[in-house]
Structure 1
Amino acid sequence: MMSAPADLRNASTSAGKAMTGDYQNSPVAIPPMPDYNGRILAYTATAAIIVSGVLQGVFHHWLLWLVAGALTWPHIAHIVTRRTFLRQSARIRQKMLVVDCIIGGAFIGCIGLVAIPSVSVVVMLMFSCLIVGGIRQWLLGTVFLAAGTAAAVAITGPADTFQSPLLTSILAIVSTGLYICVTAFYSHQQARALMLAKTQIQNQREQSIALSHKLSKYLSPQVWQSIFTGERDVRLETQRKKLAVFFSDIKGFTELSEEMEPEALTELLNHYFNEMSEVALKYGGTIDKFVGDSIMIFFGDPTSRGQREDAFACVSMAIDMRKHMKIMRQKWRSQGIKTPLEIRMGISTGYTTVGNFGAENRMDYTIIGKEVNLASRLESLAEPGEILISYETFSLIKDRIMCRDKGEITVKGFGKPVPIYEVVDFRRDLGPNRSFLEHEHSGFAMYLDSDKITEKERESILTALEDAADRLRRGDDTSLPEATAGKAY
């Protein structure tokens, strides 16, 4: 006559399916009470009420025919909802419960509105409606229950008395109580299982987040973000875009690798890569790869601020790296590394092919094209501490960055000689009002960036500079006080 509550079970298994893609593989085994078993329990109780009422003379004898219907309907409903095309119908459980309400209303009308059996059937039906579909299902069930009851009463008429014998009343009450207790027990079990499922799903979600962050270390943050937000599919696809391409390597690294132990060399290289990566991410660069002591970075994908701004950000990053390298070099000297390490850089701007390259089971997000080759060539031609850029890059940043003409070079893939330029510095930092000052000799190095110095730091820096000046005037060979980023060495 009604379906047992299973919404909690469905919700939990749906959560499991969301995590695993399969209902059978849900993270928690939910104690089931399917609609089939619920109907068998409810309709068997109804059949017992009919038999008791007929035997005690309160119901008509022809109602015994309903016993067969009450015992067979749960099986018919199960076949209809699980074995036919109706199993794919939306909200099939709620629809079948409406049918149960109509059947229950017709039964109440056929027994002539006898009080306690009628109330028993109504309670079981309304209890099921509330659990399965909430208030909306309860209101809908009430309407169809009332309609079924009214139709049956109009045909058979009400009973002579609304009172039922004691045995029939007790049987109806016990049947109703048993149904409610059993369904409530399963609902409680399902609720506990659902909470456990939610806990496991939350744990799996946290593990997935932790794993995704670990995997993100192998991808540029911009690429990782676009993949995990769904903006980009992980498949073999490429596109043509105008990018600013950056290459750099360390001059003198080969000689240093012959002098240092592999462990110390690895630590130095990782420290260098970490510092340079922080600078690159500050300017929005997409780190493509590290090869030996070389770094490849590009601007303009997966996010772009426009060709001019991308080129400016790329050159600004290179200038910042050059300044940062001076600080790092002094730190390395203090650690006993005497080999002078200089960074050299090359930048080219133009159309490249960017996207996923490789195989379906192993991809690499990178760029190819002649502009990549040009940037690599510029890097190899640069002197230590020098930044060489192509003409296309120069045309985009010349109004804000001072550059020096370096002539032309011949590059494979280019039909004509390529004009190249050397980056001097930001125009705002040139002349008497420049914000930084740098000076370096054997035994002395100074890098001053007045824009980054606070008032509190200014006094201590002035003291260090005055002390250094006094020592130099006296010809004292004592080591000068060490400082970085605005302090004297």
Structure 2
Amino acid sequence: MMNAPLKVAKSLTLDSSKPVAVPPMPDYNGRVLAYTATAAIVATCLYQSVVPNYMYWLLAGFVIWPHIIHYLSRRTILRKSPRIRQKMLAMDCAFAGGLIGLLGLVAIPSVAVIITAMFSCLIVGGIRLWLAGTVLMTTTAIISVATLGTADSFQSPLLTSVVSVAAAGVYICVTAYYAHQQARSLMQAKTQIQNQREQSIALSHKLSKYLSPQVWQSIFTGERDVRLETQRKKLSIFFSDIKGFTELSEEMEPEALTELLNHYFNEMSEVALKYGGTIDKFVGDSIMVFFGDPTSRGSREDAFACVSMAVEMRKHMKIMRQKWRSQGIKTPLEIRMGISTGYTTVGNFGAENRMDYTIIGKEVNLASRLESLAEPGEILVSYETFSLIKDKIMCRDKGEITVKGFGRPVPIYEVVDFRRDMGPNRSFMEHEHSGFAMYLDSDKITEKERTCILAALEDAADRLRQEEV
């Protein structure tokens, strides 16, 4: 008469080597068990003459009805009805109320039927279905009692009481067992899902080391498909390499050279990511970065961010040179940089089983050419880049160059500095001579650091004065 616990799935296979079984009791089996228990109660009542003998037809109904309702809910148009399981259980509750009336409100058998119905409602549909089932059962019980009347005695014989309690107990225990097994399996599935999620996160973070963070994020959030496709976009392209690296590689051991290069790439990458650049690749001692894809703040802002990154890289190299000197590296390593802005083809290039997210086009060639023409510590930009940043960054005209792929000579400019940092109000100072190097950015210095720096400068000044005397 009652339904079984909510069926989730027969099995969850989260890992092909570790299937997680979820064995809830099917609706059909649960209903057969409930109606069999109710039939046992009614049969005992008939045997002990608790109810009239003409109610033998109920036993046949209890045997046939589970199969009928299974057919209706699975084989007919009713299977498309929303919440069909709850509706069928509500019908069972209505039948339970009618049965209570037929029993004449005999106490223990009636209570056994009520407990069985209410337990099923709570398991399957929660409080809402329990309330609805209670209303239906009460209504049909009142109608049935009003039509047939009550029994002569509300007390039942001992055998009827024992069978009623046992039948309801068996149904509740079996249903609770399957509910417990289902909850246990779901907890195992949840644990396995959590473990696989943690493994996937760890793996994705490892894979992210081979991709620019912007590209990795766009792939893992579903914003970008991993397939061979490209598009035309206006980008700002940056190239840099280290002047003097070839000579240094001949002087240093490979292990020390590798450590130095990795340190350099790590520091420059932090600067690039700070300004939102997409790191394309490292080739030897060269770095290629572009701005404007996968995300863009507009051509003007992208160009300004690219040049701002280059300026900070140039300043940061002064700090790194001081550190390298303290490690015994005397070769004065400096970077040279080139930047161009224009339309390029960006996207996934390669084969279906091996792709590279990069850019191609004449603007890429121009940026590479500007980098090769730049002097140590110099940043050269194309006219397109200059036109986008000239209101914020001071540049110097460097004439024109001829570049393959361009029909006319290309005007180029040298980046001097931010306009806001020019003049007496600039926030930084830098001096570098043999035996002396200083880089000062007052905007980044705390009060505590300011005191220590002043003491160090005064001590250095006193020592220089003493040696002069």
Closer/same/farther in 2, CA of residues 25 and 44 from structure 1, 3 Å limit: farther
**Paired residue for 2:83, among 91, 108, 115?**
91
CA contact (8 A) 2:5 2:24 kept: no
* Bigger mean CA deviation after superposition, 237-246 or 325-334: 237-246
CA contact (8 A) 1:236 1:357 kept: yes
**Paired residue for 2:45, among 42, 53, 64?**
53
For 1:340 and 1:364, the matched residues in 2 are separated by 34
Alpha-carbon deviations, 1:149-193, whole Å to 9, x = none?
456557656555544333222211221122223323333343344
CA contact (8 A) 1:129 1:137 kept: yes
Closer/same/farther in 2, CA of residues 467 and 45 from structure 1, 3 Å limit: closer
TM superposition shift of 1:236 = 3.7
For 2:310 and 2:444, the matched residues in 1 are separated by 19
Q: How does 1:77-476 map to 2 (within 5 A)?
A: 77-81=69-73, 90-149=82-141, 152=144, 158-159=150-151, 161-472=153-464
For 1:358 and 1:73, the matched residues in 2 are separated by 65
RMSD over aligned Cα atoms: 2.9
TM superposition shift of 1:461 = 3.3
The code of the aligned residue for 2:441 comes to D
TM superposition shift of 1:4 = 2.4
Q: Which secondary structure does the structure 1 equivalent of 2:241 belong to?
A: strand
Alpha-carbon deviations, 1:331-379, whole Å to 9, x = none?
2222222222211111111222333333444433322322222212211
Closer/same/farther in 2, CA of residues 427 and 165 from structure 1, 3 Å limit: same
CA contact (8 A) 1:249 1:343 kept: yes
TM superposition shift of 1:87 = 5.3
- Unaligned 5+ segments in structure 1 are 477-489
Q: How does 1:17-32 map to 2 (within 5 A)?
A: 20=14, 28-32=20-24
Alpha-carbon deviations, 1:81-138, whole Å to 9, x = none?
5566755654333222123223323333444444332222121011110111111111
* Bigger mean CA deviation after superposition, 145-154 or 309-318: 145-154
The code of the aligned residue for 1:2 comes to M
**Aligned twin of 2:29:** 37
**Aligned twin of 2:55:** 63
TM superposition shift of 1:197 = 3.3
**Aligned twin of 1:4:** 4
The code of the aligned residue for 1:401 comes to I
TM superposition shift of 1:5 = 2.2
Q: Which secondary structure does the structure 2 equivalent of 1:28 belong to?
A: strand
For 1:221 and 1:378, the matched residues in 2 are separated by 27
CA contact (8 A) 2:348 2:357 kept: yes
Closer/same/farther in 2, CA of residues 432 and 163 from structure 1, 3 Å limit: closer
Closer/same/farther in 2, CA of residues 253 and 176 from structure 1, 3 Å limit: same
Q: Which secondary structure does the structure 2 equivalent of 1:139 belong to?
A: helix
For 2:260 and 2:317, the matched residues in 1 are separated by 13
CA contact (8 A) 1:27 1:200 kept: no
TM superposition shift of 1:389 = 0.5
**Aligned twin of 1:481:** none
CA contact (8 A) 1:243 1:351 kept: yes
For 2:19 and 2:297, the matched residues in 1 are separated by 44
Alpha-carbon deviations, 1:48-77, whole Å to 9, x = none?
122222222233334323323322333444
The code of the aligned residue for 1:390 comes to S
- Unaligned 5+ segments in structure 2 are none
Closer/same/farther in 2, CA of residues 361 and 84 from structure 1, 3 Å limit: farther
For 2:83 and 2:334, the matched residues in 1 are separated by 70
* Bigger mean CA deviation after superposition, 167-176 or 27-36: 27-36
The code of the aligned residue for 1:452 comes to K
* Bigger mean CA deviation after superposition, 450-459 or 330-339: 450-459
Closer/same/farther in 2, CA of residues 331 and 47 from structure 1, 3 Å limit: same
Normalising by the residue count of structure 2, what TM-score does the alignment of the two structures yield? Answer: 0.89
CA contact (8 A) 1:27 1:197 kept: no
Q: Which secondary structure does the structure 2 equivalent of 1:59 belong to?
A: coil
CA contact (8 A) 1:435 1:450 kept: yes
Q: Which secondary structure does the structure 2 equivalent of 1:240 belong to?
A: strand
Closer/same/farther in 2, CA of residues 123 and 305 from structure 1, 3 Å limit: same
For 1:126 and 1:392, the matched residues in 2 are separated by 77
CA contact (8 A) 1:410 1:417 kept: yes
Normalising by the residue count of structure 1, what TM-score does the alignment of the two structures yield? Answer: 0.86
Report sequence identity in percent: 79
CA contact (8 A) 1:113 1:159 kept: yes
The code of the aligned residue for 1:296 comes to M
**Aligned twin of 1:486:** none
* Bigger mean CA deviation after superposition, 33-42 or 276-285: 33-42
For 1:257 and 1:79, the matched residues in 2 are separated by 82
Closer/same/farther in 2, CA of residues 211 and 86 from structure 1, 3 Å limit: farther
The code of the aligned residue for 1:335 comes to Q
Closer/same/farther in 2, CA of residues 452 and 164 from structure 1, 3 Å limit: closer
**Aligned twin of 1:479:** none
The code of the aligned residue for 2:230 comes to T
For 1:88 and 1:342, the matched residues in 2 are separated by 73
Q: Which secondary structure does the structure 2 equivalent of 1:105 belong to?
A: helix
The code of the aligned residue for 1:273 comes to F
TM superposition shift of 1:255 = 2.4
Q: Which secondary structure does the structure 2 equivalent of 1:205 belong to?
A: helix
TM superposition shift of 1:416 = 2.2
